[in-house]
Structure 1
């Protein structure tokens, strides 16, 4: 493992670039304050430098609440939001090596954004090593995003990108429903999002707040129920 000083003391740190894009975001973004010691520990266990966007998020940010909290992006850990280290149990990475994929965000419907590891050879995760994938709650499978973490982070800050990505899953009044949720809670849907009934009329779906861990756990069970491959862990929430 590289020493922490090698990861922190870099030319051209990534955070000023990330912060500038966050300030210029075309969607509402709340940047949670991070704890310096927690961020340094997270960076050390990630074994990426502060020059990268991922390292900058871990070291300098507690996380992001994007589009009024629809999307939660993990950093080093902040108020009400766990950090990348806790979500991915990076303490185990010190002994066993990095996970095959790194969970970097969840959305309010239980969708999961993850980064394929450099040695990811698991058929459950499409895309190439170093690329982002998304577990979709309406298909119950991982989908390739064909983008690196930095490109994904910038993409979600642009106008209309999230709106288009979630066009079939949002409903009139979604913003008001999401804005009052704590970062560790999501919205359970009936009929379930992967059913034909929900796809036919998203506005008719009934929703209620539940712990996000419960929601992601249900989605993993649903995948097995409909015969999809086990998507693997969705992170500790």
Structure 2
């Protein structure tokens, strides 16, 4: 393992957040290499080479070459941009053409440029103030509810986050598949 890969793995392992590193699957890694032209010495390339994905605080999921399969997750997204992560609300982290990471926000169904590259995005997920970023979408007891979620599930709200509601607390929550959450977002986006 080279020095850069060691630094990326140290960045992951030094987080004070609850971090789960999923096991790497060589066959998935080879499939991803065959489909995408990702520099193996980039932070994303290193993450794909050494992890099956990362789960942070049971809320953010960064894709890798394993259970959080970058290629399989991108099949859910009907655009050419590369999706590199998600949150349990159906928010998507997307590698934009300008080299920055964008956030597809489930409350606006629009992509917001985060104005950071992938390395800084990963650092933010692991060491940044993600609690403040999501403060408007966390409810009392969210940690207990999200701890048991499967990696294929997320939290859906009704009225949907992009629809008007009296308050965040008045929305009903349910656990559904991420495929369904993303599918609903893309369907409503087409209608808009």
Q: Say whether the fold is shared (TM-score over 0.5).
A: yes
Q: Separation in 2 of the partners of 1:57 and 1:43? A: 13
2:63 alignment partner in structure 1 = 74
How far does residue 58 in structure 1 lie from its aligned partner after superposition?
1.0
Q: Which runs of 4+ in 1 moved over 3 A?
A: 11-14
Judged with a 3 Å threshold, the aligned counterparts in structure 2 of structure 1 residues 152 and 112 are, in CA distance, closer, same or farther, namely same
Aligned residue among 35, 51, 60 for 1:45: 35
**Two-structure CA RMSD over aligned residues (Å):** 1.9
How many positions carry a matched residue from both structures?
Answer: 189
Q: From 165, 169, 176, give the equivalent of 2:133.
A: 165
Partner of 2:99: 130
Alpha carbons of structure 1 residues 28 and 34: separation in structure 2 relative to 1, 3 Å: same
CA distance in 2, matches of 1:193, 1:38: 33
Structure 1 position 50, deviation (Å): 2.6
Q: Deviations over 1:164-202 (max 9, x none)?
A: 1111111111111111110001111012112331xx522
Cα distance in 2 between the residues matched to 1:14 and 1:77: 21
- The 5 A counterparts of 1:131-146 are 131-146=100-115
Q: Which runs of 5+ in 2 are unaligned?
A: none
- Given the alignment, which residue of 154, 159, 170 partners 1:204? 170
Q: Per the alignment, do residues 35 and 224 of structure 1 end up closer, same or farther by CA in structure 2, a change over 3 Å counting? A: closer
8 Å CA contact retained: 1:13, 1:56 = no
Q: Which residue of 2 aligns with 1:184?
A: 152
Change (3 A) 1:49 1:136: same
| C-alpha distance in 2 between matches for 1:158 and 1:189 | 28
- For 1:182, what is the secondary structure of its paired residue? coil
Output aligned runs, 1:17-32, within 5 Å: 17-32=7-22
Secondary structure of 1:196's counterpart equals: coil
The TM-score, its normalising length taken from structure 1, stands at 0.74
Aligned-residue offset at 1:46: 2.6
TM-score normalised by length of structure 2? 0.89
Alignment partner, residue 143 of structure 2 = 175
Name structure 1 gaps, 5 residues minimum.
1-10, 90-98, 121-128, 228-237
Partner in structure 1 of residue 70 of structure 2: 84
| SS at structure 1 position matched to 2:136 | coil
Match of 2:162 in 1: 194
Which is greater in Rg?
1
